[in-house]
Amino acid sequence: MATTLMQGADAITEAAINVGCRFFSGYPMLPFTPLLESMAKQMGKRGGVCMNASSEIEAVNMALGAAAGGARAGTGSCGQGIALMQEAIAEAAMNEVPFVVFNMARGQQDYFQCTRGGGWGDYRTITLAPKDVIEAVEHTQLLFHLADTYRAPVILYGDYLVADTFMSVDPAAQDFGPVPDKDWALDGTRGGTGASRLIWSWDIGKSGRPGLQPDGQWKKVADKFDAVAATEARHETFMADDARYLVVSWGTTSPFVDYVVEELRADGVAIGAFRPITLWPFPEDALRAATEDAEAVFTYEINAGQMLDDVRLSVTDRHKVKALGGVSVDYSGMRQGELLSVGAIRSALTAAIAAHEAARS
């Protein structure tokens, strides 16, 4: 395996193009902007198109159009811009047009936005949250595969750490297996043949060839996501065997947590870490199993407690879940503040464990 030192935005770009992404559209907004700039530099050279859109709404609809034409397409922003894209993401979920949304988030972990969805209807967005640039490369390619497999918009939850950090990566195309033919994509060639295609979230169908109609289509989409939930959850544990305490975290927070877990283990604390890799589908069965014998479950997030809800829903006894971390941004409002540091995490965990021990005795 040949690795190159690359900045995250460039690594993601290379990884995407290597699995056939040929359209990218975006509106500048930090920390997503380096990804847009990287795509602008590379796409044209590799036979693709990068559009500097005039709004996030325009960007996501351009990606939807490119994807409707059968191309592997991507778009993105940070959470604030993803907020504008919610209608189009829901529309793509309901009319089953696949593309990858790159959320390069600011100093806040917007778990709710990608798992609860801000659009309308019964849809979910498969969301992968890499812990570092190496995982972001793998997830980028896996997401194009999942999008095409399930005909749905999907999300990479990155952030400024992923976008800006340099790591040694291998962005060569990984093979995740075959994807279904895009027998729904539009190229215009079926006009006048009686077999012309129609993409519509209401699935009305062409006159004489009715589709499922709204009720049928929306039930089909809801059922599809139930099926995805049963098969696509991913997670990782670290030093979690025989752990009395389990810390659950996600995304770029996790390497910091893992570092502290390793330190505490060396100090004799029976602590382990659990990390959902898919925010949706959340690995609830794996988390329930991992927490069954734990005395306490701590979440550490850079927000006021969002993944916390799904952790409480997953563990058998929700009362053993305690939320740590919190809102923490720097002076610019763009980057994480003091709570994303091994010192802060260690303090929070030792205090929480001490409180737990005191309550027990």
Please list every residue from 84 through 103 that binds another protein, using CB under 8 A. 87-88, 91, 95
Does the footprint of another protein cover residue 218 (CB under 8 A)?
no
Which of 180, 191, 216, 333 is in the footprint of another protein by CB under 8 A? 191
Does the footprint of another protein cover residue 315 (CB under 8 A)?
no
277-314 burial, b at 16+ Cβ within 10 Å, e below that, comes to bbbbbbbbebbeebbeebebbbbbbbbebbbbbbbbeb
**How many CA atoms are closer than 13 Å to the CA of 190, on its beta-carbon side?**
11
Does the footprint of another protein cover residue 40 (CB under 8 A)?
no
- For residue 167, count other CB atoms closer than 10 A to its CB: 18
Which of 187, 223, 226, 292 is in the footprint of another protein by CB under 8 A? 187
Q: At 248, give phi and psi (nearest 5°).
A: -110, 125
CA 262 to chain centroid: 26
- At closest approach, how far in Å is the CB of 328 from another protein? 35
How far is the C-alpha of 87 from the C-alpha of 95, rounded, in Å? 12
21-26 vs 72-77, strand pairing mode: parallel
| Residue 189: both structure tokens together | 């060639």
Does the footprint of another protein cover residue 47 (CB under 8 A)?
no
Which of 40, 198, 270, 329 is in the footprint of another protein by CB under 8 A? 198
Count of residues near another protein by CB under 8 A: 48
How far is the C-alpha of 305 from the C-alpha of 326, rounded, in Å? 7
Q: Which is nearer to another protein, 22 or 335 (CB)?
A: 22
Kindly state the helix (H) or strand (E) to which residue 205 belongs, with its residue range.
strand 205-206
Does the footprint of another protein cover residue 189 (CB under 8 A)?
yes
Does the footprint of another protein cover residue 229 (CB under 8 A)?
no
Please list every residue from 64 through 83 that binds another protein, using CB under 8 A. 64-71, 73
- At closest approach, how far in Å is the CB of 27 from another protein? 11
Does the footprint of another protein cover residue 207 (CB under 8 A)?
yes
- At closest approach, how far in Å is the CB of 182 from another protein? 12
How far is the C-alpha of 15 from the C-alpha of 280, rounded, in Å? 22
Q: Which is nearer to another protein, 74 or 130 (CB)?
A: 74
Does the footprint of another protein cover residue 202 (CB under 8 A)?
yes
Nearest to 169, CA basis, from 140, 202, 146, 145: 140
> Can you give the binding site for another protein, defined by CB under 8 A?
22-23, 25, 49, 51, 53-55, 57-59, 61-71, 73, 87-88, 91, 95, 186-194, 196-202, 204-208
